[in-house]
Amino acid sequence: MAKLKETFKLKPVYLFLTALAIFLLALPQFGGRYLTYIVIHVMLLSLLGLSVNLLLGYTGLLSFGQAAFCASGAYGCAKILLAMDSPSLLAGVFGGLLIAGAVALVIGFLCVRHTDIYFAMLTLCFGMMIYSLALKWRSMTGGDDGLVGIPRAPLEIPGLFSINMSPMENYYYFVLIMTGIAIFLFYRLVNSPFGLSLQSIRDSESRTAFTGIPVRTYRLIAFVIAGLYAGLAGVLLPPLENTVTPPIAHWSYSGEGVIVALLGGIYTFTGPIVGALLFFVIKDVIMRFTEYWLFWLGIIVLALVLGLRGGVVGAIQRKFLPKMTL
């Protein structure tokens, strides 16, 4: 107990994390359906932001194609859930993730041999190819109508347990757990030897190669992992909305991932998570006053990105917590 007290005294960040965990766990009890629904979306956008940041902040690659993996996961999950006689949420989620990972592997193989603007443009092109498929391959994707009637299947392992996901709060807890696990794994990843390798590639590709690291292979692995994170953001969406439509594959959705990463801070771990929260708060507040919310959102995001070098978290870290890694 004494040790626990000492830890909390030394690291107020633990207090903050504990308070945040309590808030998130209790949210469905006091927040109502709308807030619960919005927080699910914040979590999904956080995952997309983390996906972008693994490439941009940690590996030095700007991708405008993360929506493609989000869409691959979402459509994959939706097709699996629609095809099953008795749909299983886990089958849909992990099947969708597998598809997103496979698509990321193929696109990544073709993209990671390039860097800078060439990489950005290639990911944009491949992303829009996936968007075109979602829009035009009507027999598979439902075209611009998308896929509808996707069930929020129960979370079950036959013979072990089955949890009904129809109530929003149950699905919220599922998304919270999945996001929590994903964020924890992301933290371990970026602080591991592999994470250090990615950061070194970001700083100097040639120097990294001269430490004996195969740069292209590492970039491809990072690309696939980033694809899986975007895919996770995608697979969790159809059971929530009961539908999936082509805009999820559009480059502007990839752009949202880039914006939240920049907003929060690309050289920070928590930046994309804070960025996703800010994005939704700003969007929600502005939408109450004007239908031209995108215009005002653009101005605010621009001011924050230009005014706060390194994003919101980066600025806080520099100003108040220079010795801490946020």
Q: Is the CB of 172 or the CB of 229 nearer to other proteins?
A: 229
Binding to other proteins, residues 265-284 (CB under 8 A): 267
Using CB under 8 A as the criterion, what x/- string covers residues 215-254 for binding other proteins?
x--x------------------------------------
Binding to other proteins, residues 177-206 (CB under 8 A): 185, 188-189, 191-197, 199-200, 202-204, 206
**Sequence-distant (≥ 6) Cβ neighbours of residue 130 within 8 angstroms:** 65, 67, 68, 71, 72, 103, 249
Angle among Cα 307, 40, 128 to the nearest 5 degrees reads 70
Least Cβ distance, residue 4 to other proteins (angstroms): 21
Return the structure tokens found at 176: 């919270």
**209 touches other proteins by CB under 8 A:** yes
**319 touches other proteins by CB under 8 A:** no
Residue at 128: amino acid letter:
M
**210 touches other proteins by CB under 8 A:** yes
Least Cβ distance, residue 268 to other proteins (angstroms): 12
Residue at 105: amino acid letter:
L
Least Cβ distance, residue 118 to other proteins (angstroms): 20
Query: Which whole-number Å values give the CA distances from 94 to 32, 73, 74, 98, 198, in the listed order?
Result: 29, 9, 11, 6, 26
**83 touches other proteins by CB under 8 A:** no
**324 touches other proteins by CB under 8 A:** no
Question: DSSP class of residue 144?
Answer: G
Query: Which whole-number Å values give the CA distances from 289 to 38, 278, 293, 298, in the listed order?
Result: 18, 17, 8, 15
Least Cβ distance, residue 213 to other proteins (angstroms): 5
Query: Which whole-number Å values give the CA distances from 84 to 18, 89, 94, 143, 153, in the listed order?
Result: 39, 10, 14, 21, 10
Interface with other proteins: number of residues (CB under 8 A): 27
Return the structure tokens found at 181: 């696990």
Q: Is the CB of 237 or the CB of 313 nearer to other proteins?
A: 313
**212 touches other proteins by CB under 8 A:** yes
Q: Is the CB of 194 or the CB of 280 nearer to other proteins?
A: 194
Return the structure tokens found at 278: 């800010």
Q: Is the CB of 196 or the CB of 281 nearer to other proteins?
A: 196
**158 touches other proteins by CB under 8 A:** no
Other C-beta atoms within 10 Å of 130: how many? 23
**211 touches other proteins by CB under 8 A:** yes
Residue 204 · residue 40 · CB < 8 Å: no
Strands 243-244, 161-163: pairing kind:
unpaired
**207 touches other proteins by CB under 8 A:** yes
**145 touches other proteins by CB under 8 A:** no
Residues that bind other proteins (CB under 8 A): 185, 188-189, 191-197, 199-200, 202-204, 206-215, 218, 267
